[in-house]
Amino acid sequence: MSAAVERERSEPVGKAPYHVSHHTHRDVSGGWLRPAVFGAMDGLVSNLALMTGVAGGNVAPSTIVITGLAGLTAGAFSMAAGEYTSVASQRELVEAELDIERRELARHPKDELRELAELYVARGVEPELAHEVARQMSRDPEQALEIHAREELGVDPADLPSPLVAAGSSFLSFGIGALLPVLPYLLGATVVWPAVIVALIGLFVCGAAVARVTARNWWFSGLRQLVLGGAAAGVTFVLGALFGTAVG
């Protein structure tokens, strides 16, 4: 989390100093961190719960390993496919709206100019100044399209999300998270507790990392995720034990 920082600088100008205040803000959009952390967290919780549920049924360690690897693979592909479809659909919708705006700018430039000026007026700019600003900013068709897209659609035409990037990052982050509870078994563990401990540590780290894009303390976010993930694992373990007894 890049905390807001304020810095004051004084320099002499003649006989009187002037003060310039500088500050920065946290990344409220989350950038790359939010989808990466939440993807890993999703993989951790879902695969940990899946493996503890199977372990509750008193099955062989090899069965738990196969279950964990299958959950990792299926979950990662599912996340990637879902993220790709979601982002691709969103991008296609935005591009369709941009095409409509592009045609309107070509067919009715005066109406679009008036519309842009009215947006500025609604924000408190005087009518004459708003019209002049809109006129100057509409000289370049591509710049006019970008401005209308930002003002009316809330998007930047030059910065649309990539479906492939979204799918790839979701696949990798989910896979890394889902791999953690499997690792102890791959390294020779024969009981479920090492997998639970490793997964809970991973959940705490992911929760603490989420604090980079929130106002919460890192320990609070970490403990919250640890408790939620632990509760999910505990419930599925009990259910697995009950189902295993019933089936047996």
Residue at 21 is within a domain: no
Residue at 53 is within a domain: yes
C-alpha–C-alpha distance, residues 103 and 126, integer Å: 28
Q: Give this prediction's pTM.
A: 0.74
Residues whose CB is less than 8 angstroms from the CB of residue 230 and which lie 6 or more positions away in sequence, other chains included: 196, 200, 203
CA-closest candidate to residue 247, choices 66, 57, 67, 59 = 57
Q: Which two tokens stand for residue 151?
A: 């003002």
40 is in which domain, residue-wise?
36-247
pLDDT of residue 212: 72
pLDDT of residue 213: 67
In the chain, how many domains are there? 1
Residue at 209 is within a domain: yes
Residue at 4 is within a domain: no
Q: 116 with 138: CB under 8 angstroms?
A: yes
pLDDT of residue 160: 85
> How far apart are the two ends of the chain, measured CA to CA in Å?
50
For 124, other C-beta atoms within 10 Å of its C-beta total 7
pLDDT of residue 26: 53
Q: 53 with 237: CB under 8 angstroms?
A: yes
Residue at 18 is within a domain: no
The per-residue pLDDT string of the chain (248 residues; one tens digit each, 9 = 90 and over) reads 444 444 444 444 444 444 545 555 554 444 456 667 788 999 999 999 999 999 999 899 999 999 999 999 999 999 999 989 998 999 999 899 889 888 888 888 888 888 888 888 988 889 899 889 888 888 888 888 888 888 878 888 888 888 998 899 999 999 999 999 999 999 999 999 999 999 999 999 988 887 776 667 888 988 999 999 999 999 999 999 998 767 76
Residue at 15 is within a domain: no
Residue at 10 is within a domain: no
Residue at 1 is within a domain: no
Alpha helices for the chain (secondary structure H): 33-56, 61-107, 109-122, 127-137, 141-148, 163-179, 183-186, 193-210, 218-247
pLDDT of residue 63: 95
Q: Which two tokens stand for residue 84?
A: 């790709």
